[in-house]
Each structure stands twice: as structure tokens, then as C-alpha cells.
Amino acid sequence: MTIAPTKDKATTNIGVSKPRVDVREKVTGAAIFTDDVQFGAGLLHARAKRSPYAHALIKRIDISKAKALPGVKVVVTGEDFPNRTGLYLRDRFIFARDRVRFVGEAVAGVAAVSEEIADKAVDLIEVEYEPLPGVHDPVYGASSEAPLVHPDLGSYEWPNFIFPVPGTNISNHFKVRKGDVDSVWEKCAAVVEYTFRVPHVQHVPIEPHVAIAKVDDEGNVTLWASSQSPFAQRNLIAKSLDIPESKIRVIAPLIGGGFGCKAGVTMEAIPVAIALKAKGHPVKFRLTREEEFYTNFVRQGLVAQIKVGCDKDGNLLGLQNTMYWDGGGYTDYGVNITRAGGYSGSGPFDCPNVKVDSLCVYTNHPVGGAYRGFGMSEVHTGIVQAMDMLAEKIGMDRVEFLKKNVVQEGDKILTGMTMHKTGIKECIDKAAQAINWGVKEPNSAPNKLRGKGIAVMWKAPAMPPNAGSSALIKLNEDASVTVMIGGQEIGQGTFTAMAQIAAEALGVPFESVKVKGPIDTQYSPYEWQTVASRLTWSMGNAVRNAALDARRRILDMVAEAWGENVEDLDIKDGYVISYKTEESISLKNIVVYGIPKPNDEGWIGGPVVGSGNFMPTYVTGLDKETGQGERAVVHYTTGAQAVDLEVDLDTGQITILKAVSAFDVGKAINPDLVRAQIEGGFVQGMSSAIFEEMKLVNGHMQNPSFVDYRIATSADVPEKIEAIIVEAPQDDGPFGARGIGEHPMVPTIAALANAIYNATGVRVPHPPLSAEKIYLAMLDAGIVK
């Protein structure tokens, strides 16, 4: 077969909404999630003994009765595991040792032949506590009156970009000082000063955490985990248990939602620790939904004291943001959320004078961790509402005000980094246009008030400066292509996007590319974590590089066989073609067996494997006192969201008539999957904005079940959710792409709060923007009687 040779580079794989590669198994029930992996009769079941106190010293633990219960195989406590662990700040143990710091903290673990027996054994463990006064508010926690949650903070280990303050509860104090904020206020024509509070919320993946560990008699550990981070887990578990990485294998099957809570290490170390004492037995540890709510990572609460000011024309002059993050009992991951909140703490606004203090505060609350947006929903809730208030105070249309003040290419942002090309203004225009911004629409009934709101956002991937990706590509006899990666399919569609990138870079049909889990640290190439909306960009680059490497190997082989120059050859649709001779040859067989030389004189080539990696090398450190540095982050994804809603005067309930989101994704590899992220992200944002709050009373969560922690259902979702893709290419993204996984929920709370204000004239600043809060605010303001 001959394919008409052409150097036309029109793509068939990029910017095309290819079908998901993982979908058939998901609709037939064949897809294997971690809880579905079968282990046979030797399986042991683990449960954890948990602290009923928010803050207490452990005086005594008696495990003798639990150990004596028939069917119990292992009981372990903190005594058995002395090392601290943690992703950034190493401040936690696998099981609490001397003290407990939040309700639900694991103090002991049990493995038994059945979950029922393990459950009974946990009840038989006796723990004597000495309760301590607790810290239940981050502002109080940061004060000198508060009791210390971690008196030994100064002795912990942390990387050089985290700034703990030993002798206090502040585990990271990140500062930005740009210009001179303190003297600018008197020059402002309008100033807004306001304190915003964002409650703790939970990720609520529909799949609860589950992990199974097995240790063989040579001490090799295998961990099957519902995980966003098999490599980070291998690394952290290795350190905490003094096992070399080479002896730990983490296998991560498909994951039933993560949103950040399955990144880092939380419960996964527990079954490993137990399995070390039950060699040969797989040990399964599965959280109940109730445990899921408060014993694992939560989204940190935030108190943000914000002051913003502008001149009479609406130009921002000063921006001050002091953030107290409610980090919880341990902040091993939370310290970096605080850092991200700090270096993006101005929101996507260009302002000459900026002062940000972002403080991670130990409290006796559940432990904060990554949550879709990594601090940005919380930051934007305050800063974007403050801008809405400021625009009103100066008497300016919100859209005009935002467009005047958002960051643009070439601006020096708060950290001194030069902003790259960004489509944020186009996002604002398109979102505003889609909801008829500026047009006052009629109410649907006399007892309704209608309003519109708009919000903007930015977010950079938050990660260590050198978070890396790698990929392998191998070709098979039938010319099919296997892409091996270490990034996880978490629902976002990354397997599909990687197949598209590989197909495009290599020159083969999309259908011939296979990307499959499970991710297996023994065989999959390294990937830092599936977080930070970084895969399309970072892993995409690695996959593209691997595909180009494989391509080069193939072309070298064919060039040699045909006596041609590589430059005259191309791979298209699974065939190597020559632009010079118009020859073509299928990739079939040659990619494994090579090409015979003429006259039986031997062979050229061999099995083709391509490898590629990617790691940003240009991120610089930031000054401890000023937060200034050349390049704080790799890039920012920006966007805008606008909503049109009605408030019911009888109940305070809101009905969102239309929601529009526009995001600059650089280049949409798969536009339909991008839209799916934007829609789903909006609904998660809306759900957190309206319904969600972990109700904590002295550290005890009052609503740890779906009965009283409500999330949006099919009936709560607006029928009109529009997703608009804007593309200002990323210079170092694969085909110009950057990430979009987290961003769609970042501006939602502010957009809704602004719209509720527009409708009612009453600001309900602190989420959740529940019907109750809205109604009572209207009542107190005299809007209803």
C-alpha cells in the first residue's frame, strides 16, 4: 500500500474529541478498582483504634484483650513505628505515639481473619488519655496564648521552601512583599477591608480509601492502593518504615475519584505497618464512609483578612491578604497549600503594592491535605468577593473593573515573576457575554429576586520545583503501541489524552494506542503524583518525548534499510513513508523483528522502545522575607465564571438558571474531555459553595455521613452549564496544552456570592451559602419580614 506523501501537518489526534479509552470496562462493571482485587482465603482485615479526643496525651495502651480474641492475628501501636513521615514537613507518625492531635487519629491497628473480628478487637483495646486544651480556631492558634500542638516542631525535617516558626503553632509562614502597601491606602479613592471564613470541606470521592498490603518472607512489600500517588507513597512509606524503595511495590488500579485526598500518604501506611507483622498475608484496610469524612485529608479551613484599594479610575493600588489556614493536627501536606495560597494570594490581579502573609496553623482539627484547587478556591472566595465590593464602592461595572485589573502578559506578578501569555480577558468577555452581562432580566415569580455574578481565577501547579514525569512507549508486532506511564486515570481522562499525544507524536492511528492501568511502581515509569492539574502538561511532554524517541528509532532503521535520509521520511497512520521515493512500509512486524537486509545479508533494527521524560528546570526559590524570585511557578491557568440565579424570598433557596465557565487551557487536546472537566468542576464548586461544611464542635465532626453532609445531586444541578474553551498556547506544553483539572471549581464560591449580592443586595460572604444563611441575612437586612 502506498500513501500519498504530503508534509501536511494537519493533526488528526490533537484538538479532537476522541472517545475515552477506559469507558467500556466502566459501563459493564468489569473495571477493577482496588476493593475489587481478589486475594483469596489468606486475606486479613484491618481496623484502626481511633482517638475520641481532639488533643490528649496517651498515658497507656493495653492491647492484651484484643490480642487474646480468637481470630486476631496482629495488634500494633505507635510503639512499633518510631519514624516520622510526611510529604513536605515530616510531622506525623503512622500511629500516634505520645499524643493525639485530632479526633479519629489512629492510635493502634488490628488485623484479623474477618472485618467483624477486627472491629470487635478494636473495642477491646484500652487507651488511657489525659485530655489537653485544644486549638479550634486558626487565628487563636497562631496567637501566643494558644497551647502548642507540636511542641517539638523545631526538631522536624522540612524542605528549604517551607518556613516553620518553632515555639508556635505556625508550621509555615509564607510572605510576599511587593512595593509598599502600608503607605498606599491614603492614596486610594476606595478601600475595602473584610474578613472571610471558609469552612473545612471533604473531597467525597464515591470510592472510599482502601489499601491492601502484603509482605513476603524476604521483606518485599506490595501495596495495592486506591492512589493518586503510587510513587510518592512508595517513597514516603519507605522512609517511615526504614525499607528501601526497591523493596516496595505500589500497584494502583483504577481510582473511584480522588480530588486530592488520595495523594500523599494517609491511611495507606497502616496496612503496610500491620502486614510487616503478618508476613505472607495480604492485609486489607478499608475506610468506612464515616471514617472517610474525618480521619483522612480534608480541605483546610481558612480565615482571610483582606484589604484592597484602588484609585478613582478603578486601578488597583494596594492588596493585603493575611491568611490563617486551619491546618489540623498535622500539616505535612498543608504547609505547601499555604505556600501556594501565598504565592498566588493576590488572585489574578495586577497590583503594584502587595503584602501577603499565609500562615499554616496547627489546630486540633482533621488534617488538611490537597483538595482540587490546592487552596485556590479558599483564596479566591475572599479576594474575588473583595474585588466585587471594591468595584461597587468605586462605582464601576464589575466586568470593566476586572478587565482593568487582571494580570496580562509581561506584568510582574506579586512574586516578581513575569506573567506569560494568558487568555484571561477573553475568558471574562466570553463568560460575561454568555450570561448577557449588564442586562437586567425579569424574575420568574414575584417571590424571587434575580441576579448575576462573575468571578475570575488563576492557579499554578503547586509542587516541588523539580516534580518530574517519565514515559515509555513500546511497539508491538501488530503495530499497536503501548504507552506506559505513572500518572493515574482518576476520571479526568488522562489515559485518553496520553493516547492522543502518543498517536500524534508517533504518527499512528489513535485506535492503535493502548494506555492501561494499573499503575505499578515496579513497571511503570516514574511520575511524581497525579495532582496539581499537571499531567496533561508534564506527563504529556514525557509521553510526547517518548513517542518522538520511538519515532526516531523507527526512522533510523528504515532510513538505513532504504538508504535514505531520515529527513525525507515520516510516519503517518502507522506507515513509514518516504517523501523522496514515495515508498511506504507498515510498522507491522518491523517494529519488533526489524527489517531484513537484501539478499539474506542480515537484519537492521530490533524491538522498538522509546523513552522520554520531562521536568521543569527553571523554577527558582523565593526569598523568605519578601517572596520575591524570578520564577515562582511553571505557569498559571486562568479563567472566569459567571452565573445567573434567582433567590427565593420565602426560603432563601437559590436556583442557578445558567452557569458559564471559560478557561484558558492553552490547547485542548480533547475538547470534550476538557468541557467535561469544566462542567463537573463547576458542580463540585457549586456543591461546596451551597451545601458543604464539616461541622466541627471542639474538633468533633457532627455530620460525618451523607445524611448530614449533603452534596449536590442530579436534581440540584442547573440545566444550563456552559463550558467555553480559550486557547492561548503554553510555550512548553505539549501542543501548547496546560492543565484544567482543578480550576473549574476555584471561582465558583465567589461567583455565586457575588450573584446573590447582586440579586438581594445582601452579601453572604462565608460559604456554605445555604438557604438558611441567605434567608436569615435577608431577614436581618429587612428584605423579608
Segment 687-706, which members bind another protein (CB under 8 A)? 691, 695, 700-706
According to CB under 8 A, which residues from 473 to 512 bind another protein? 490-493
Contact pick of 591, 683, 746, 756 for another protein (by CB under 8 A): 683
On the CB side of 70, CA atoms within 13 Å amount to: 0
Q: Nearest-CA neighbor of 24 among 535, 496, 676?
A: 496
Cell of 439: 442586562
- Rounded Cα gap, residues 564 and 555, in angstroms: 10
Between 36 and 477, whose beta carbon lies closer to another protein? Answer: 36
742 is catalytic: yes
Closest distance of CB 76 from another protein, Å: 19
Closest distance of CB 491 from another protein, Å: 3
Contact pick of 15, 22, 434, 554 for another protein (by CB under 8 A): 22
Q: According to the binding rule CB under 8 A, does residue 1 interact with another protein?
A: no
Strand 248-252 versus strand 316-328 pairing type: unpaired
According to CB under 8 A, which residues from 245 to 284 bind another protein? 254-257, 259
- Rounded Cα gap, residues 267 and 283, in angstroms: 13
Q: According to the binding rule CB under 8 A, does residue 714 interact with another protein?
A: yes
Q: According to the binding rule CB under 8 A, does residue 711 interact with another protein?
A: yes
Residue 659, beta-bridge partner list: 643, 721
Q: How many CB atoms lie within 10 A of CB 293?
A: 24
Contact pick of 14, 15, 18, 50 for another protein (by CB under 8 A): 50
Cell of 47: 481496623
Between 209 and 380, whose beta carbon lies closer to another protein? Answer: 209
Q: According to the binding rule CB under 8 A, does residue 33 interact with another protein?
A: yes
Residue 128, beta-bridge partner list: 60
Strand 126-131 versus strand 56-62 pairing type: antiparallel
Contact pick of 2, 28, 144, 160 for another protein (by CB under 8 A): 28
Between 38 and 144, whose beta carbon lies closer to another protein? Answer: 38
Between 357 and 489, whose beta carbon lies closer to another protein? Answer: 489
Between 20 and 197, whose beta carbon lies closer to another protein? Answer: 20
Between 236 and 678, whose beta carbon lies closer to another protein? Answer: 678
According to CB under 8 A, which residues from 195 to 224 bind another protein? 203-208
CA dihedral 92, 98, 99, 100 (to 10 degrees): 50
Cell of 268: 495507606
- Rounded Cα gap, residues 506 and 520, in angstroms: 24
Which region among 31-39, 228-236, 395-403, 755-763 touches another protein (by CB under 8 A)? 31-39
Closest distance of CB 564 from another protein, Å: 43
According to CB under 8 A, which residues from 745 to 784 bind another protein? 770-772, 775-776, 779
Query: x-or-dash pattern for another protein, window 594-633, by CB under 8 A?
Result: ----------------------------------------
Q: Nearest-CA neighbor of 164 among 343, 333, 360, 386?
A: 360
Q: According to the binding rule CB under 8 A, does residue 442 interact with another protein?
A: no
E-only strand ranges, 136-169:
none
CA distance from start to end of the chain: 81
Q: According to the binding rule CB under 8 A, does residue 234 interact with another protein?
A: no
**Look-up: residue for cell 461544611?**
693
Closest distance of CB 720 from another protein, Å: 9
Cell of 87: 510529604
Non-local (6+) Cβ contacts of 377 within 8 A are 198, 299, 371, 685, 688, 745, 746, 748, 749
Query: x-or-dash pattern for another protein, window 397-436, by CB under 8 A?
Result: ----------------------------------------
Closest distance of CB 430 from another protein, Å: 20
Contacts with another protein: how many residues (CB under 8 A)? 86
- Rounded Cα gap, residues 347 and 387, in angstroms: 10
According to CB under 8 A, which residues from 294 to 313 bind another protein? none
Which region among 63-71, 266-274, 387-395, 678-686 touches another protein (by CB under 8 A)? 678-686
Closest distance of CB 748 from another protein, Å: 11
Q: According to the binding rule CB under 8 A, does residue 583 interact with another protein?
A: no
Non-local (6+) Cβ contacts of 258 within 8 A are 203, 205, 226, 228, 488, 490, 530
According to CB under 8 A, which residues from 114 to 143 bind another protein? 115-116, 119
Non-local (6+) Cβ contacts of 38 within 8 A are none
Between 341 and 366, whose beta carbon lies closer to another protein? Answer: 366
According to CB under 8 A, which residues from 90 to 119 bind another protein? 103-104, 115-116, 119
Out of 292, 693, 742, 772, which one is annotated catalytic? Answer: 742
Closest distance of CB 549 from another protein, Å: 31
Q: Nearest-CA neighbor of 159 among 227, 91, 242?
A: 91
Alpha carbon 463 to chain centroid, angstroms: 10
For 563-704, where are the alpha helices, taking DSSP H only? 590-593, 671-690
Which region among 134-142, 187-195, 383-391, 714-722 touches another protein (by CB under 8 A)? 714-722
For 218-363, where are the alpha helices, taking DSSP H only? 230-241, 269-275, 289-294, 334-343
Cell of 292: 472517610
- Rounded Cα gap, residues 736 and 754, in angstroms: 33
Q: According to the binding rule CB under 8 A, does residue 387 interact with another protein?
A: no
According to CB under 8 A, which residues from 633 to 652 bind another protein? 650-651
- Rounded Cα gap, residues 386 and 42, in angstroms: 58
Between 39 and 579, whose beta carbon lies closer to another protein? Answer: 39
Q: Nearest-CA neighbor of 203 among 142, 243, 248, 255?
A: 255
Q: Is residue 758 within 8 Å of 695, Cβ to Cβ?
A: no
Q: Is the C-alpha dihedral spanning 535, 537, 538, 539 positive or negative? A: positive
Contact pick of 31, 548, 566, 783 for another protein (by CB under 8 A): 31
Q: According to the binding rule CB under 8 A, does residue 288 interact with another protein?
A: yes
Contact pick of 126, 409, 630, 708 for another protein (by CB under 8 A): 708
On the CB side of 303, CA atoms within 13 Å amount to: 12
Closest distance of CB 200 from another protein, Å: 15
Contact pick of 3, 12, 16, 35 for another protein (by CB under 8 A): 35
Between 361 and 746, whose beta carbon lies closer to another protein? Answer: 746
E-only strand ranges, 270-363:
283-286, 301-310, 316-328, 353-362
Per this entry, what is the length of the chain? Answer: 785
Closest distance of CB 229 from another protein, Å: 16
Contact pick of 74, 557, 676, 759 for another protein (by CB under 8 A): 676
Residues taking part in catalysis: 742
